Amino acid sequence: MSDPRDAIEPHDADTAQAQLDWVLAHCSDKRVLDAGCGHGRIAIPLAEAGAQVVAVDTDAASLDVITRAAPDVTVMLGDMTSCAVEPASVDVVLCLGNTFALVHDVDTAVATMQHWATCLRPGGTIVLDDLAGDLWPELTGGNWCSGVDEDGRQLVWADDDSVFALRDAIGVPSLVDSDTAMRLWTAGALRLLARASGLSGPIVDRAGAVCIFSDPKNTGE
């Protein structure tokens, strides 16, 4: 199971390459907001391919890595859920590396998607990981039944929601304030998120390991 906390290698090698290939094929000629960019797994090669990239993260050290590797990237220190990007200024908002799983509160998720939608130019899209296709089968396939993975990390759930946390030390079998909460976004929940945010989709491209939302006002839907 991918660990959404890992900003450098959030996916297995094959999935990571497929996702990067998709991004390069669809976004290299566009202005892109990379929300929650981490160390630049997507931002750096995308900028090298010719895209205009705005990279947003709360970690200044990660942004320094991007600046050194790709000086043309515009870096912005801040919260990806409310970043100060000009309205109608980007063609694509990317939030990859399972980063959107960290937006576990539903109201915050809706507000975030609505904010990103205001950043889009006409015809623009918001692109997330295929969260449901990646994480959900891990559970339905029987993984995590013991609550502990092969590396000794404990998986704990909220009492009344599909919110979970991974912790390195085995502790109480429920979420506590010190845990980093994440949401296991299902396909149905993502559809509801789209509707609540005034967006269409998501359309899943399994080959590229992404799901795509669009603004119906911009696409004529």
Mean pLDDT in the chain?
86
Residue 9: the pLDDT is 64
Residue percentage of the chain with pLDDT more than 70: 86
Q: What is the 3-state secondary structure (H, E, C) of 71-117?
A: CCCEEEECCHHHCCCCCCCEEEEEECCCHHHHCCCHHHHHHHHHHHH
CATH number at residue 127: 3.40.50.150
Least confident piece of the model among 66-75, 120-129, 158-167: 158-167
Most confident of 62-71, 78-87, 209-218: 62-71
Would residue 164 count as lying in a domain?
no
Q: What is the pLDDT of residues 14-58, one digit of tens each?
A: 888 999 999 999 999 999 999 999 999 999 999 999 999 999 999
Q: Residue 220 — left, alpha, or beta (φ > 0 → left; ψ -120 to 50 → alpha)?
A: left
Residue 23: the pLDDT is 97
What mean pLDDT is predicted for residues 170-177?
75
Would residue 180 count as lying in a domain?
no
Q: Tokens for 108?
A: 């915050």
Residue 215: the pLDDT is 84
Would residue 189 count as lying in a domain?
yes
Would residue 126 count as lying in a domain?
yes
Which residue segment(s) compose the domain that 87 sits in? 13-131+185-216
Q: Is the pLDDT score of 128 beyond 60?
A: yes
Domain count, the chain: 1
Of 12, 50, 56, nearest to 38 by C-alpha is 56
SS3 of residue 171 by DSSP: coil
What mean pLDDT is predicted for residues 171-197?
87
Higher-scoring residue by pLDDT: 34, 1: 34
Would residue 166 count as lying in a domain?
no
Q: What is the pLDDT of residues 132-169, one digit of tens each?
A: 887 666 665 655 555 676 677 778 888 888 888 888 76
**The dihedral of CA 94, 100, 103, 108: what is its sign?**
positive
The pLDDT-based confidence of 2 (bands split at 50, 70, 90) is very low
Would residue 156 count as lying in a domain?
no
Q: Is the pLDDT score of 77 beyond 90?
A: yes
Q: What is the pTM of this model?
A: 0.87
Of 4, 84, 67, 74, nearest to 32 by C-alpha is 74
